[in-house]
Structure 1
Amino acid sequence: MAPGDSIQASWQEKTLVSTTVKKINSFNIVSGTSMASPHVAGVAALLKGANPDWSPAVIRSAIMTTAKLFDNLQNPIQEWGTNQTASPLAMGAGLVDPNQALDPGLVYDLDAQDYVNFLCGLNLSMHELHAIT
């Protein structure tokens, strides 16, 4: 749900950067694909705070169904390093819009049995099904 390229993240002042040198930075920033997950987790936490009765599936659905296919300049999202429009495999659902996700309209809710039913439809062996569930 959270692919990303060059996602920026920073951490608070006076955080211990190195335990061997005992160096403390007043500010630091990192960039990378793994920074997308904490950003989306933060959006999910905000949605759960605003809607305590929402299940994890509803929160995921709200984020994904309200994501934008265009960047902040209203251009199609491009695959990093190219001038080509990103495929769904490259961009996931799109650019997260936390404000829109607060009032998403139609959402899809699932429970554990729905996931089990999906797995059963994949014709997995009993060993594989037990390993997953």
Structure 2
Amino acid sequence: MHWVSVPTRWKDNDVYGHVNNAVHYSLMDTVINTWLIEEAGLDIHAGGSIGLCVESHCTYTASVSFPEVIRVGLRIGKLGRSSVRYELGLFKADGATLVAEGHFVHVFVDRDTRRPTEIGGGLRAAMERLVVA
């Protein structure tokens, strides 16, 4: 499991006084892609393959508001030949109160042809460390 603490921002609150649902998706996407770049070595600018989001989902369970910190846990639920399902939990700073849970599915494709390509090398090795049994 990979953990990141993310502070909410003033602009994240909506007119109802809580973090808007679209922010949860943005946080999940940001945590995944930051991990891919910093921990898995994905070269988003010049690498031969890129990950395209083909599915996403989020279930909301509690409210959070600025200036709270959201604790995000990232794991991999399924690692295929060319696809990966990331699973995320968003918690209040206490680490016990679940705010939302969701998933993203990336299919890795050749940058130029957009045809599925095998996840290999260092990228696969890093992903394997996050796979849940």
Using CA pairs under 8 Å that are at least 6 residues apart, name the structure with larger relative contact order, 1 or 2. Answer: 2
Decide which structure has greater strand share: 2
Give the number of the structure whose alpha-carbon radius of gyration is greater. 1
